[in-house]
Amino acid sequence: MSDLLAGKTAVVTGGSSGIGRGISLALAREGADVVVADLQEAPRTGDTTPTVEAIEERTDADAEWVETDVTDIDSLRNAVDHAEAWGGIDVMVNNAGITGGSDFLDADEDDYYRITDVNLKGVYFGCQAAAERMVANGSGSIINISSTGADRGFEEPGATLYCATKGGVRSMTWALGEILGPEVRVNAIQPGFTGETGLAADNHDAEAEAERAAETAMGRSGRPEDLGNAAVFFASDLSSYITAESLLVDGGWVHTGGP
């Protein structure tokens, strides 16, 4: 641990599982206390040790799980409020997201709102809840989790809505970088296919995963810790002159691979 985030407090939505868990652990390893804001406390896949327990066992940081529904604005504000126990929010990671759904021609309003309420509304109001405190405090870093789907479409049920929301997250990030600077930096991370996540488990196809891995320049799927390392960069002073940026963490897939 290099203590890049010593004295900082982070809120990570969807922080119990998958990418969110990887980010929560990475921030804690660098010294940040973490509010794990999620609907459930235990991970959905892999190691079932609750993320809060893993943080407290493996790092010197403190952590708390706060039951959070990102489609509910008051619930998001409550998660941010819990950061006050450690001096207030310094880092907000809007990670919670879902996929799946119907084919484009079969989708209805219920499909539309199920995806957009989590992937777009949840990020928008997560940014708002954090920014209110950060602007008042004079500093902060917001990190939004977008997707390679913001750059490239793919053919799976629900992909149109998923890509639309993730493109919206990226564009929102650019706008907020202008609106909230210079006090608050706002950046996005675009994961490629990442194993060991709830989304991956829900749509797991070992053969398809191997094919995707082979299409990347790095020859493998992403891991939650890969996204955690990127989040540490954006959360820390290493990126103090970077805002309104979107970083692909996809093994090179968007620019070098794919079908």
Q: What is the structure's pLDDT at 4? A: 98
- Global pTM reads 0.94
Strand order in the sheet with 184-191: 63-67, 33-38, 9-13, 91-94, 140-145, 184-191, 246-249
Structure tokens that stand for 33 in this block: 């206390």
| pLDDT tens sequence across 216-250 | 999 999 999 999 999 999 999 999 999 999 999 99
Of 16-20, 178-182, 214-218, minimum mean pLDDT range:
214-218
Residue 91: phi and psi, rounded to 5, are -135, 130
Domains and their CATH numbers in the chain: 9-256 (3.40.50.720)
Residue-wise pLDDT for 74-121, tens only, equals 999 999 999 999 999 999 999 999 999 889 999 999 999 999 999 999
Tokens of 202: 């829900």
163 alpha carbon, distance to own chain's centre? 15
User: Which contiguous run of DSSP H or E holds residue 38?
Assistant: strand 33-38
Helices (H), the chain: 18-29, 51-58, 73-82, 109-116, 122-137, 159-180, 198-202, 206-215, 224-235, 253-256
Reported as a single tens digit per residue, the pLDDT across 31-53 is: 999 999 999 999 987 789 999 99
| Contact call for residues 127 and 96 (beta carbons, < 8 A) | no
Q: What is the 3-state secondary structure (H, E, C) of 226-249?
A: HHHHHHHHHHCHHHCCCCCCEEEE
Strand 140-145 to strand 9-13: parallel, antiparallel, or no bridges (unpaired)? Answer: unpaired
114, 161 contact by CB (below 8 A)? no
C-alpha torsion 220→224→227→228, nearest 10: -140
Q: Which two tokens stand for residue 6?
A: 């010593």
CA–CA separation, 121 and 198 (whole Å): 20
Q: What would the pLDDT profile of 141-158 be if each residue is shown by its tens digit? A: 999 999 999 999 888 888
Identify the residue whose tokens are 């920014």: 131
- Please identify every residue annotated as catalytic: 162
Contact 223, 251 (CB under 8 A): no
Is pLDDT of 205 > 80? no
**What are 147's two structure tokens?**
């997707």
